[in-house]
Structure 1
Amino acid sequence: MSQAKGQTSTFKILPYHFIHVLDCNTNVTRVEVGPQTFIRQDHEQVTSGQQPQKMIVLPKQHYCIIENPIVKDKDGQPAKDRYCQFVVLHGEREIRFFDKYSTPFPLYPKENLIQQPTKLTVVKEGSALKIEAQRNFKRGENEILAGDQYLFKGPATYYPRIEEKILGQIDSILIKENQAILIRAKQEETDSNGVVRKSGEQWLIRTPGYYLPQVYEEFVKIIDAEILDNRKALHLKAIQTFKDVYSVERKAGEEYLITSEQTSAHIVDVFEELVTVINLTVLDPRQYCIIENPFDFETQRNKFGSKVLVEGPRSFFLRPNESLQYGIQDSYILSEDQALLLRAKEKCKFTEKKLAKNNQFEEVEVEYEPGNKWMIHGPCIYTPPIVVEVIEKRERIPLDKNEGVYVRDTRTGQVRTVFGESYMLKSHEELWSMELPNNVDIIVVISIFPYRWKERQMEGCQLQSSLQYLSTKKTRIVFGPALVCLEPDEVFTQLSLSGKTPKTPGVVNTLHVMMGPEFSTDEITVETSDHAVLKLLLAYNWRFKVDENNIESASKIFAVKDFIGDLCNQMASKVRAAVASVVFDKFHKTSAKLIRTAIFGTDENGKIRKEYLMVKNNLVITNVDIKTVEPVDNQTRQSLQRSVSLAIEISTKKQEQAAQHVAEQQEQQAQGELDQLRIEDDLKAEAAKQKLLEMENKSQEVTQQGSAIADAEAIAKAEQIKAQKEYELAQLRARANKIEKEAALKQKQKEQDQNIKYEQEKAELEIRRAKELATIESNKFEQIIEALGQDTLIAMANAGPEMQAELLKGLGLQGYIFTDGNNPINLFNGAQQLIGGALPQ
C-alpha cells in the first residue's frame, strides 16, 4: 500500500486476501477481494485494518465456526437488504465445513472467526462421543430437547452442530471370558437389552466382548469370576430377593452354595455377597467328623441343634450354617492291649459282643443310661457315635516283678495294689497316686536309689541300710539290698540327723539308716587340769548290731531319731571328763590311750575294750581316731608356731641356695644357646631374603609372559568365535533359504495336486452327468416307445414311404435329391435313403 499527502490511498490485494471498504456517503460496507490493486476514494474508508486479511482456508476434514454469519439466498449468494447492506444473523453461529467451502472464502462485515479451522473428530469403532443438546432442535423425525444427552457411536466422522456440545468420549470396555462389568444407572433409563433401569440401580454385563456404556450408564468396576473345581465352592448370601443366573429364586438373607456341578466359573451377582470360599472336606477311610446344624435336602433347610456323624471315605462341602464339631478326627485303632473308656451322653442302645459261658462271643443288645461308663477293647477300629463321649484311651500296663500300680475303685473308693502282672484298668477303675508329705517327697525325689512313678510307689533299700514303713496295721523294717512295694496305707519313718563338723542338729534328713560300718567326725573343746584349753578333732567308727529276724531288736535302730548327735554328745562328755583329770604334759604324751580308755573303758584285767555298745539303739563304737590336737591359748600356739617356723626357715634357705645355684647355671647355658640360635637365624634370614628376590624376579617375568600369552589367546579366541559365528550364520541362512525353497516347492506341489484333483473331480462330474443324461434319455425313449405301442410304431414307419411314393407319383418323378452343389453325393448308397426306400410293389 502506498499513500501520499493529498492523494488517494492504494491497496495491493494479493490473491486469497480481502478488505472491508466503508462508503461514507451511503454508509454501506462492501468486500474487496484480490488479486487487484484497490484505490481508496476520499469518501471510502478501509475498516478491516491497515493490511489485507487472508481468506479462510479449510483443509479436507476440517471445519470452522463463524459468529454473526450472513444470510445467503437460494443461489448461495450473500443476501442484501433494501439499503444494499449484508443481512447478518446477529448472535448466531455457523459451522462451515470443507464439503461446502472447499475454496477459500472471505469474512463479510460483522462476521467473526471464533474457532480456527479444526479437524473433524473421527470416532473409532467401539467408541462414542457423549453429546448434550444446547437448544431444542429436530433430527429427522425425533424432537431433541435442550439438556438431552445421547451418544454418537463410531466408526464415523462427527460433524458438529451449533445445537450440540461434546461432553467427552466414551470408550468400550473389554469383557474377557469369566469376567463381567458392573454398571450403575445415573437416572431412569432403558438399557441396551430393553430393561427399564431406575436411578442408582446396578447390574452386570456378562457377555464377552466390547461393551459401550449408554449415555446414562456409569462403569463401576470389572468383576472377575471365581473359578470353581471339584475341591472348591462358594458360600453366597442373597442381599435381596432376586432370580440368579441359574433361574433359581433366592430370598433376601438366604445363604446357599455354588459348586462346580452348577458352573465352572461363577461371577458374584449384584444382589449376592460372597461370604467365604469353602474347600472340600475329605475324609480318609479311617477318619470321621460330626456336622452341627446339618442341611436337610428334602426341606432345603438346616436342622439347627442337630448333629450328624459322617464316616470316611467321603468328600463333601459344608453347607451354609454347617460346622464341624472338633474338626476332622481319626478313628480309634485299638490293638489287643488297648481299650477306650466311653461315657453315654444320652440314653442309647448298642449291640456288643459278650463272652458267654461256653467261652464264645455272642451279640447282646446293651442299653446305657446317660453317664454310664463302659469300655471297648481291641483289636478293632472304633468310630464313636454322637451320643457317646470318649473319656480316654487306655493301654494295658506292663508291670515287671518289681513294679506295681495303685488302682482305685471309683464306686467304693477302695485302693488296692496290683503288683508284678500286666493289668488293664476296668471302666470303674482309675490309677491312684500316693501323696507323700512334702518333706518326705523331697527326700524321695532327690535321692538316687528310690524308684518311683507317679502311679507306682516302689522304694529301693541300699546295701547295708534299712527302711521302716509305718501303717495302721503293722510296722515293717526292711534291710537292704531290697526293693519293696509301699502299700497305700503305709508311710516312711523319717530321720533327722546331725551333720557338719562340729555337729549341728537337723542337717541331714533321710529315710534310710546305714547299718555300718561307718564313721562320724566331730570337733570338741577340752581343758586339762592345768587349764590348758585344746581343740580335738575326733573320728568315730560305728555300726549297728541287730538281729534282722528279730523285729524287736531291729526296731531299736529307729528308737533314736538323731543317733549321730546322740553318739557325738556321749563321746564328747567322756573325753572331756578324762582330759580334765590330767595335766597338759601328760595329755600330750598319752592322749591316744587316755581318749580310748575314756570311750571304751577297761576290762577286769585292766585292758582297753575293743568296742562300746549303746543299748538304746544297739549302736556299736568300734574305733576312735584323733586327727588333730590344737591348743586354744595364743601364747602356746605362737611358741609352737615359732619353733616350727624356724625349722621350716632353715630348710627353706638351704633349698633356696641350691635352687639359685642350679638356676644360674641353667641361665648361662640358656644364654649361650640363645646367642647361637640368633646367629643361625640371621644366616637363614639372609638366605631367605635372597631367595625371595629371586622368586620376585621370576614372578614378574612369569606375569609379563602370562599377560602377553593371555592377550594373544584372547585375540585368537575372539577371531575363532567370530569365524565360528559367521559360519553358523551362513549355515542358518542356507537352512532358512532351503526351508523357504522347500516351502515354496511344497506349496506349488500342493497347488498342482489341488488343480489335478479339481480337474479329476470335474471330469468325474462331467462323466457322471453324461451317464445320468444318457440314462434319462434311454428311460425317456423306453417310456415313449412303451407309451406309443408296437402297432403305432409300425404305422408311423409305413406312413413315410407311402406318402413319399404318392408324392412322387403325383409329380411324375421316380426320386429326388437336394444338394447345395458343394458336397459330393454318394449315388450308390444314398438313392434309396433319399427316396425313403423302395416304392411299394
Structure 2
Amino acid sequence: MSQKNSLVGISPLQFIHVLDKNTNISRLEVGPRTLYLQTHETIVLGPASMICVPPGSYCKILNPLKEYEAGVKCELCLGQMAVKFHGEPFPLYPGEQLALVPTYGQGAHDYTKALEKMPVVPVNCALRLRAIQDHVVNKRLIPAGHVWQVKGPMTYAPRPEVEIEELVQPDIIKTGEVLRLQAIQDTRDQNGRKRVTGEEWLVKTPGAYVRGAWEQIIGIEKSHTLTVDCGLHLRATQNITDSAAGKKRFAGDEWLVTGEEIEEYSPQVGIEVVKTVKKLVVKKGQYAVILCPMGDDGRNRLGRKVLRTGLCSFFLQPGETLENGRIQNATILTNDESVVLQASEDFTDESVKDMKRKAGDRWMIRGPVSYIPPITVNIVCKRNTIPLSKNEGIYVQNTKTGKVRAVMGACAYMLTAEEELWEKILAPETEQMLLQGGGSGSAEIRKMAYFEQSIDPNILQGRNKSRVITYRCPGNTAVQVNNFTRKTSRAIFGPDLVILGPDESFNVLSLSAGKPKQPNALKSLCLMLGPDFITDIMEVETSDHARLRVQVAFNNHFEVDKKDPDSVNKIFAVPDFIGFACNQLGSRIRAKVALTPFDEFHRHSVAIIQAAVFGTDTGGKLNHFLKFDANNLVVSSIDIQSIEPVDIKMRDSLMKSVQLAIEISTRSVEASAEHEAARKDQIARGQLERQRLQNEVEAERERAKLYDLRAEACAVESCGQAKAEAQAEAEKTLIECQSEITAVTLKAKAEEIEHYCKLESQSMLRKSEMDYKRKLMELMVKKEKNQANIEITKFGNMVQAIGAPTIIKIARAGPQSKLDLLSALGMESVLLTDGSSPVNLFNTANGLVGGERNT
C-alpha cells in the first residue's frame, strides 16, 4: 500500500475495522486519531459513525461479541441477538451487524433505520409476549414457547429472548351486557379461579376487561330485560343447575322464563336462548287452539288440543303451537251465510240440547250467529246464499246419493250440508263453440255471422262450470239436445233459450264449408232452417271433353212440422246437410253436362243446369223445387254465378289477348295525344271529343248492324248451320273491311292535321327569328349613332374648354422647337431646294434629337 493510503484519519465518534492479513484477525479502532496502516493491514469497515440510541428507542445487534480484546480471537454468538438501549454512543465490534441494516458501514451510512421505538402499553391494555428461548428472569426459569402478558400503563423494554406477539386491546362490558370467555388451555382467570381447557364462564362486571393469555372471547351477550308481555324460550345444552329458578336442568330440557318471574335475565353457561316469546292476547270474538299443550309435569301432551277463547292472554310454552299458526277469529254468519261442520270424534253438542255427535257427522249452522268451533269439530267450508235470476241456475249434487239436479231461478238458494256444487264438463270443442256463439270455423265462412248474435258476454272471461249451461238459439234455427241417461233427444227452435240438464249435451253438427266445399270445416250447435243459400264450386266435363269450373248458388230451406216429433227428428237425420246437398246436386249437374257438347252448354247453361237439378215432369215442364226425403231439405232455386275453363293454357291465352288489345289501344291514345299536343289545348280537346263522339256513333251503327245480323243469323239458323256460318263470315269480312277503311281515313286525317301543325309551327318559328334579327340590327344602329353623337359632343366640349389660341400654340410647339434647334446649330441660313420648293431641315433636327436620345 502506498504512503498516501497508509494514513487514515478517524474523526470523533467514528470507528473502523482493520484486518490483519497475517493473523486474519480484525480489530476495532475508535477516533479521534490518525492511524498508520502497515503493509499487512487493510480497512474492512468504515470509517462509520458510532451508533447513538436516543431515549425511548432501542436497536438490535445480530451476532453479538461476548468479550472483545484487541488482537485476540473473540467468540461471536452467531444466530443470537443483543438489544441496546439509550446510553453512550457505541461502535460495532468486528462481526456484529445491525438487525435492519446488516451492511452498515459498507456503503450504508444511515443507522437510524435500525432504531425502533420501545413499545408503550396504554392503560387497560396488555402486551402479549412469547419466549423464543429459555431464559431466567428474577431467578425464575422461563421456558421457550411460554406465553404471558404484561399490563399497562408501562413502557416495555424488549429482550432478545422474548418475542412480542400483539397488543391486546380491552373489551368494554357495558351495563346490561356479559362477556362470555373460554379457556384455550388450563389456566387461572383474573379472580384466581382455575379453569380447564374448553371451559366457558361469564364476566358480568361492567368496565374494561383485558383477556388473559389463554383466554378466548366467544362474544358479548346482552342481558334480556323481561316485561309482563315478554318471555324467553330457553334450552339447556348440558346438565346444569338453573341459578334463576334453583332447579336442576338436563341437557335438552326447554322451559319458559317470563317477566312475572324475573325482570332481567342473563343466560348462564350451559343455557341458550332459543327465541323471545310474546304474550298472546285473545280478544273478544277470537279463539286459539293450542296443539300439544304442556302438562303439569313439564312434558308436552302430543296429539292433544286446548281451546282458549277471549278474553284471555297466555304464553306459548316450548313445544306448543297454534292451529293454523295464528289466533283465529270467530266465524260470524249473516242471514245469507252458513257454515258446514264435521265432527272429528264423538262428543256431546251442548248447543243443540245435549245432542250426541259421532265422528264423521256433518251438519250446518245458519246465521245470524257468531260461532267458535270446539276442538272436536272441524269447519268444512263456509257458504253463501247463491242468488239466481231468471234463466240462471246451478248444478247441485247430493254427496250421499250422488244424484245431480239443476236448480233454476229466480231464487236465492243455500246448499244443504249434504249438497255441493257440481261442475259440468264439456268437450273443448263445445266450449269453444259456446264462446263463439255456437259455431267454430274460419272467419271467411259466411255462416259464422249467424252466431254473432248468440254470443253470451258473461262467458267471454271463462265459464263457471257449476252454472247451468244456457245457449241463445238464433231465430229460424233448431238445436238438438241429447239425454244420455234417458236415451232421448229434444229439439229447440229459435229464437229460444236452450237450458242443459245435468245429463244432457248438445248435438254438434259437422258441416261442410268453403268454395269448393270441404268436409268438417264448420262446427255448429244449431241447424239453419232457412231460407238460406249455399254456394259451391264444381268441375264438370262436357261430351267433347271440355273441363269447366262452375260456381253455383242455390236457395234452400227445411220443411218441418214442429208438432210432429218424427218430422223434427228427420231434419237432424243427415248431420252434414250442406255436404249432402252439394254432393247430390253436383252429381246431377255433372251427369247432365257429360251428355251435352261444349257449344250447346255454353249457350244454354242455365237451362241445362236447372233441368239437371230440378228435373222435368211427364209433360216436359221444369219442376219448381227439389226435395230430399232423407232430411226434408228443399232446394227452391239455383243461380249460376260463373263458368270458366279449367285448362290453364286456354285461360292464359285469353288473358294475353286481352292484355295485347289493351296495350295496342293505349299506344294509339298516346300517339294521338303526342300529335295533338302541338296545337292549343282547347282546340285539341274539342277535336278529340268530336272524334270520340263520331267513333261512338259509328260504333253504335256497327253494333246495330251486328244485332241485325245476329237476328238474321238466328232466323237463318233453322235453315242450316252452313249457310248461317257463310253469311256470318261474309258479314264479318264486310265489317272488317269497313272498319279498316274507316281506320285508314282517320289515320290520313290525323297525319294531315299533324303536317299542318308542323308547318304552322315552323312558319311561326321563322317569323319570330326574323323579327328578332331585325330588332337586333335596329338596336345596333341606334347604338352606333348614339356613340358617334357622344364623341362629337365630347370633342366639341374639349375644344371649347381648351380654347382656339391654346390649340394653335400646341400645333406650333413642335416645329418651333425644331427651328430653334437648327438655329442653334448655325444652319438657319442654309436652304436646300429641289428646284421647285425650299426644303427645311426639320427632319434633320428630328434625327439629331433622336440620335441624342439614342446615345
Shared topology, TM-score over 0.5? yes
Among candidates 167, 177, 180, match of residue 182 of structure 1: 180
Q: Which piece of structure 1 moves more, 191-200 or 459-468?
A: 191-200
The alpha carbon displacement at 1:434 in A equals 2.9
> Are 2:426 and 1:427 aligned?
no
Who is 2:597 aligned against? 583
Cα 1:447/1:662, change in 2 over 3 Å? farther
What is the 5 A alignment of 1:40-55?
Answer: none
Preserved contact between residue 225 and residue 268 of structure 1 (Cα < 8 Å): no
Among candidates 465, 475, 478, match of residue 477 of structure 2: 465
Q: Which amino acid aligns with 2:416?
A: K
The alpha carbon displacement at 1:438 in A equals 6.0
Give the SS at the match of 1:302.
coil
> Are 2:519 and 1:505 aligned?
yes
What is the 5 A alignment of 1:267-306?
Answer: 267-278=266-277, 288-296=287-295, 298-306=296-304
Preserved contact between residue 181 and residue 219 of structure 1 (Cα < 8 Å): no
TM-score, with structure 1 as normaliser: 0.56
Rounded to whole Å, the distance in 2 between the matches of 1:523 and 1:515 is: 23
Deviations 1:769-794 (A, max 9, x none): xxxxxxxxxxxxxxxxxxxxxxxxxx
Give the SS at the match of 1:326.
helix
Rounded to whole Å, the distance in 1 between the matches of 2:353 and 2:676 is: 104
> Are 2:225 and 1:223 aligned?
no
Rounded to whole Å, the distance in 2 between the matches of 1:295 and 1:658 is: 116
Q: Which amino acid aligns with 1:576?
A: R
Give the SS at the match of 2:381.
strand
Who is 2:345 aligned against? 346
Cα 1:608/1:152, change in 2 over 3 Å? closer
Who is 1:357 aligned against? none
The alpha carbon displacement at 1:224 in A equals 2.8
Deviations 1:61-104 (A, max 9, x none): x9xxxx99xxxxxxxxxxxxxxxxxxxxxxxxxxxx99xxxx99
> Are 2:551 and 1:537 aligned?
yes
TM-score, with structure 2 as normaliser: 0.55
Preserved contact between residue 211 and residue 217 of structure 2 (Cα < 8 Å): no
Deviations 1:622-651 (A, max 9, x none): 221111111345676466546544543444
Who is 2:403 aligned against? 414
Q: Which amino acid aligns with 2:533?
A: F
Q: Which piece of structure 1 moves more, 622-631 or 529-538?
A: 529-538
Q: Which amino acid aligns with 1:225?
A: K
Who is 1:701 aligned against? none
Who is 1:366 aligned against? 355
Among candidates 379, 386, 400, match of residue 375 of structure 2: 386
The alpha carbon displacement at 1:169 in A equals 7.9
Who is 2:366 aligned against? 377
Who is 1:525 aligned against? 539
Give the SS at the match of 2:571.
helix
The alpha carbon displacement at 1:301 in A equals 3.0
Preserved contact between residue 341 and residue 376 of structure 1 (Cα < 8 Å): yes
Who is 1:814 aligned against? none
The alpha carbon displacement at 1:225 in A equals 0.4
Cα 1:652/1:591, change in 2 over 3 Å? farther
> Are 2:319 and 1:307 aligned?
no
Rounded to whole Å, the distance in 1 between the matches of 2:329 and 2:285 is: 6
Give the SS at the match of 1:336.
coil
Preserved contact between residue 404 and residue 458 of structure 1 (Cα < 8 Å): no
Rounded to whole Å, the distance in 2 between the matches of 1:631 and 1:566 is: 26
Give the SS at the match of 2:323.
strand
Q: Which amino acid aligns with 2:401?
A: T
The alpha carbon displacement at 1:539 in A equals 0.8
Who is 2:318 aligned against? 320
Preserved contact between residue 450 and residue 458 of structure 1 (Cα < 8 Å): no
Rounded to whole Å, the distance in 1 between the matches of 2:656 and 2:355 is: 100
> Are 2:204 and 1:206 aligned?
yes
Rounded to whole Å, the distance in 1 between the matches of 2:480 and 2:157 is: 120
Who is 1:336 aligned against? 335
Give the SS at the match of 2:354.
strand
Preserved contact between residue 601 and residue 609 of structure 1 (Cα < 8 Å): yes
Deviations 1:11-33 (A, max 9, x none): xxxxxxxxxxxxxxxxxxxxxxx
> Are 2:486 and 1:487 aligned?
no
Preserved contact between residue 556 and residue 616 of structure 1 (Cα < 8 Å): yes
Give the SS at the match of 1:270.
coil
Give the SS at the match of 1:516.
coil
The alpha carbon displacement at 1:419 in A equals 1.2
Give the SS at the match of 1:558.
coil
Cα 1:247/1:441, change in 2 over 3 Å? closer
The alpha carbon displacement at 1:188 in A equals 5.9
Rounded to whole Å, the distance in 2 between the matches of 1:303 and 1:525 is: 89
Among candidates 487, 490, 493, match of residue 476 of structure 1: 490
Give the SS at the match of 1:252.
coil
Who is 1:554 aligned against? 568
The alpha carbon displacement at 1:556 in A equals 1.6
What is the 5 A alignment of 1:70-219?
Answer: 126=124, 173-185=171-183, 195=193, 197-211=195-209, 218-219=215-216
Give the SS at the match of 1:220.
strand
Q: How many residues align?
A: 566
Cα 1:120/1:545, change in 2 over 3 Å? closer
Rounded to whole Å, the distance in 1 between the matches of 2:375 and 2:431 is: 44
Preserved contact between residue 178 and residue 223 of structure 2 (Cα < 8 Å): no
Q: Which amino acid aligns with 1:293?
A: C
The alpha carbon displacement at 1:460 in A equals 2.7
Deviations 1:725-751 (A, max 9, x none): xxxxxxxxxxxxxxxxxxxxxxxxxxx
Rounded to whole Å, the distance in 2 between the matches of 1:57 and 1:436 is: 104
Rounded to whole Å, the distance in 2 between the matches of 1:287 and 1:317 is: 16
> Are 2:604 and 1:614 aligned?
no
The alpha carbon displacement at 1:570 in A equals 2.1
Preserved contact between residue 189 and residue 197 of structure 1 (Cα < 8 Å): yes
The alpha carbon displacement at 1:658 in A equals 8.1
Give the SS at the match of 1:561.
coil
Rounded to whole Å, the distance in 2 between the matches of 1:59 and 1:534 is: 127
Cα 1:549/1:165, change in 2 over 3 Å? closer
Preserved contact between residue 495 and residue 561 of structure 1 (Cα < 8 Å): yes
Deviations 1:39-82 (A, max 9, x none): xxxxxxxxxxxxxxx9x99999x9xxxx99xxxxxxxxxxxxxx
Who is 2:244 aligned against? 246
Rounded to whole Å, the distance in 2 between the matches of 1:467 and 1:401 is: 21
Give the SS at the match of 1:564.
helix
Who is 1:780 aligned against? none
The alpha carbon displacement at 1:203 in A equals 0.9
Cα 1:130/1:651, change in 2 over 3 Å? closer
Q: Which amino acid aligns with 1:179?
A: E
Give the SS at the match of 2:424.
coil
Give the SS at the match of 2:609.
helix
Among candidates 395, 400, 408, match of residue 384 of structure 2: 395
Q: Which amino acid aligns with 1:434?
A: K
Give the SS at the match of 2:602.
helix
Rounded to whole Å, the distance in 2 between the matches of 1:654 and 1:477 is: 69
Cα 1:446/1:156, change in 2 over 3 Å? closer
Q: Which amino acid aligns with 1:399?
A: L
Rounded to whole Å, the distance in 2 between the matches of 1:606 and 1:650 is: 50
